[in-house]
Amino acid sequence: MRAWNCVTWGGPGHLKLGTTPEPECGDGEVEITVKACGINFADLLMISGQFQVRPELPFVPGMEVAGRITRLGPGCEAFSLGQKAAAYVRHGGYAEKVVAPIAQVAAIPESIQLEVAAAFPVSYGSAELALDRAGLSANEIVVIGGAAGAVGSACIELAKQRGAVVIACVGDDAKEKIARACGADQIISSHSRRLYEDLREVAPDGVDVIIDPVGGIFFEETLRALGYGGRIVSLGFASGKIPSIRANHFLVRHQSLVGSSFGLTCVKDPGRISARWPQLSAMLEAGQIKPRISQTRSFAELPKALQMLKDRKVAGRIVIS
Ligand SMILES: NC(=O)c1ccc[n+]([C@@H]2O[C@H](COP(=O)([O-])OP(=O)(O)OC[C@H]3O[C@@H](n4cnc5c(N)ncnc54)[C@H](OP(=O)(O)O)[C@@H]3O)[C@@H](O)[C@H]2O)c1
């Protein structure tokens, strides 16, 4: 079957369009014939060899897919052949078919386009887990970094569903529009040199939660604005910079630093992930959450789409159809 292969570590230009063998469908796995796939920041990290998961070369990247179920392994009675589904897969999604463990598969309502579904599982699965890890509750103030990105925009929508007050950090006007459309209450520029002061202006008593997919200066500056008992959730390092912090900071301010890994939780605690899909799918069907698709590209244009993400020119998800 056709697939994009990663044959050497490097940038999007190193990917090769070719073939790969059809996948085996084992116990507790379904095969999805892929109609659309989401382009993720972590795909860039994985093809460059910088991701925590480093598959053996050559491999097919791609971690977020949507399509129809075309094979059911033993123990997959909850799904049916021909059913619409979206899934997180570790890699292998940039191909015609892929298999996924059922905990990572969300049933998608017939009314939802598969291109939209392809922007759903990683962003909303990760966002829901991150907000859970933060213990975010109604009326709390949450700061969200990279807020017009795929994970950031999902965090805004789900935080608003929980009744929180959302301060969104974004890099430009187009991204501000997206964050506002998702429901953000306040916007702060991620290019501001006064991030801490800007936050103190809108939240003088400090913020309760920070969701950080960016790292670097964003982490350091927003942490200064975290209030008593506050939680900062480290999700990723889109800035390319991993911050360092002295542990006493958290003691003297009675705060917590929490890591949240969607990928690892799928492996270590799959029930925690699978339990969330029915509610998230229902919210998708009801229009309460709306995956932001910045553009749709053809399969042949996949490396170009990855390059756009690398150049920070994307708000929401690019979807390959
Ligand atoms: N831990 C988990 O469970 C989990 C799950 C999924 C993703 N992630 C991580 O979360 C991060 C965001 O993923 P995503 O899919 O939402 O990516 P995305 O759509 O590309 O969004 C990333 C955002 O980060 C901001 N950013 C700040 N500095 C940047 C830089 N130097 N280069 C690129 N972007 C920069 C950008 O916002 P502005 O330009 O508006 O500032 C951008 O919109 C990634 O690090 C990813 O690996 C973690």
Quick check: bond before 58 cis, omega within 30? yes
Predicted local confidence at residue 46, as pLDDT = 97
pLDDT tens digits, one per residue of 49-89: 999 889 999 999 999 999 999 999 999 999 999 999 999 99
Predicted local confidence at residue 316, as pLDDT = 82
- The string of DSSP codes covering 229-269 is EEEEEE---TTS------THHHHHTT-EEEE--HHHHHHH-
pLDDT tens digits, one per residue of 281-310: 999 999 999 999 999 999 999 999 999 999
Q: How far is the CA of 145 from the centre of ligand 1 (A)?
A: 8
Predicted local confidence at residue 193, as pLDDT = 86
213 close to 236: Cβ distance less than 8 angstroms: yes
What mean pLDDT, rounded, does the chain reach? 96
Is any ligand 1 atom within 6 A of the Cβ of residue 171? yes
6 close to 60: Cβ distance less than 8 angstroms: yes
Instruction: Report whether pLDDT(127) > 90.
Output: yes
Predicted local confidence at residue 314, as pLDDT = 83
Residue 272 sits at φ, ψ, to 5 deg, of -65, -35
Residue 16 pLDDT level (bands cut at 50, 70, 90): very high
177-188 average pLDDT score: 96
241-245 average pLDDT score: 94
Predicted local confidence at residue 40, as pLDDT = 95
Is any ligand 1 atom within 6 A of the Cβ of residue 124? no
Q: Which residues of 115-126 are buried (b: 16+ CB within 10 A; e: fewer)?
A: bbbbbbbbbbbb
Domains within the chain, CATH numbers bracketed: 2-120+281-320 (3.90.180.10), 123-259 (3.40.50.720)
Is any ligand 1 atom within 6 A of the Cβ of residue 233? no
Angstrom distances, CA of residue 182 to CA of 69, 263, 289, 310: 31, 25, 8, 23
Question: Rounded CA gap, 31 and 50, in Å?
Answer: 28
Question: Rounded CA gap, 130 and 126, in Å?
Answer: 6
